[in-house]
Amino acid sequence: MQKLEALVREAHESAAPATPAARGHSRVIPIARLSDNESEVARQMQICNACRYCEGFCAVFPAMTRRLEFGKADVHYLANLCHNCGACYHSCQYAPPHEFAVNVPKAMAKLRLETYSEYAWPSAAGALYKRNGLTVALALAASLAVFLMLSIAANGTLSGGPLGGNFYAIFPHNQLAAMFGAVFGFAMLALGIGVVRFWRDVSAGTATAPALAEAAKNVLTLTYLDGGHGEGCNESDDAFTLARRRFHHFTFYGFMLCFAATSVATLYHYVLGLEAPYPLFSLPVLLGTAGGIGLLIGPAGLLWLNLRRDPQHGDVAQRPMDRGFIALLLLISISGLALLAWRDTSAMAVLLALHLGVVMALFATLPYGKFAHGIYRSASLLKAAIEKRQAKGLNLGSD
């Protein structure tokens, strides 16, 4: 243990910022100046690389052992590979109040926000990540909903009689498609450009079919939210729980079912010539209902966990952004299910405006909110799968 302490202390000291005098005599030319958060992750990874107690916990630590130094691209890659499960924090002998103050989940969470901001497109929009909180999300959704209600009122259909669930009697199909297609298209373009920039900086190697299959499995099953031992994450204390993994599954697959419902409805409309409204037991309605229920259970559970979570498990400053995204998902599910239940009543127009306002707010904030973490994490998981299949030059850790 004394030898390990000495090794870790050496790594800790070597990762500390150099003094001006030391920098003056250094023969190393710095390639990229690290920010405070980047330097902190590099410091902690040097310590963890000397200790390696947590090597089997998640994908971060095997990836860490393949490196002797941690540059800018390395720390951003590792930060987005981290699933913030909290297992390493609770197991670490160098966690606060130890002088090394190792808290990997918090350091990684702070750096992830820098990743989103740095790689954002347009570049100036990176600052939106720090402002995209609960208040902004709700205010944007409310503003869009009011705007849509005023538009409906101007057409005289806001308080009209039942329309048989025909949404297009209020908003023409082509108008809705153009309006939401433009917002969603921009969101996908912005996220796509951002992750391509990220991939260009951190990538090495070719994405083979086995690597793609492994990454897809880890994304779709949330492999690394099991704590490395299958019992789950730490949330409010030392107890393990699979709750966050399960609520993430409800949220992700609920979102995908809603997307599938929209895709099937588009196929019905343009290919089969079947126009909405569709019967309650039609495929688009069944998919949308199942997705709405998933988006009700998942985000509600994630919000409950977020409110209870130990503040040492992440960056508390990002919780407003997390809760804003969760709130929009919850409002989409609630307003969507309510719209389905009362689509044959006179309340349909108001409910439609509310639902469309929340959906548009979600689309508008997708590139600059919590949704981005899933995109960057998926890219990092693919890089990890590629890296595992490359020739091992260091032989420093096991996979």
Rounded Cα distance between 54 and 228, Å, is 9
- Write down the pLDDT at residue 111: 96
- State whether the Cα torsion 141-320-226-374 is positive or negative: positive
Model confidence band, residue 29 (pLDDT cutoffs 50, 70, 90): very low
- Backbone torsions φ then ψ of 241, nearest 5 degrees: -150, 145
Q: Is the pLDDT of residue 241 over 60?
A: yes
pTM listed for this prediction: 0.85
Tens of pLDDT along 281-319? 999 999 999 999 999 999 999 999 999 888 888 899 899
Looking at residue 192, its amino acid is G
- Write down the pLDDT at residue 204: 67
Tens of pLDDT along 190-220? 999 999 999 999 876 788 999 999 999 999 9
Helices (H), 162-311: 173-202, 209-221, 243-270, 283-308
Tens of pLDDT along 152-178? 887 766 666 666 778 888 888 888 888
Residue 235: strand, helix, or coil: coil
Tens of pLDDT along 73-94? 999 999 999 998 888 898 899 9
- Write down the pLDDT at residue 360: 94
Rounded Cα distance between 13 and 347, Å, is 66
Model confidence band, residue 344 (pLDDT cutoffs 50, 70, 90): confident
Q: Region 2-30: what's the mean pLDDT?
A: 50
Spatial contact of 298 and 247, defined as CB atoms under 8 Å apart: yes
Rounded Cα distance between 163 and 345, Å, is 7
Q: Is the pLDDT of residue 2 over 60?
A: no
Spatial contact of 368 and 125, defined as CB atoms under 8 Å apart: yes
How does DSSP classify residue 130?
A: H
Rounded Cα distance between 354 and 145, Å, is 5
Spatial contact of 46 and 14, defined as CB atoms under 8 Å apart: yes
Any bridge partners for residue 233, and if so which?
Answer: 241
Rounded Cα distance between 378 and 140, Å, is 28
CB-facing half-sphere around the CA of 215: CA atoms within 13 A: 23
Q: Region 100-129: what's the mean pLDDT?
A: 93
Choose among 329, 332, 337: nearest CA to 306.
Answer: 329
Q: Is the pLDDT of residue 150 over 50?
A: yes
Any bridge partners for residue 241, and if so which?
Answer: 233
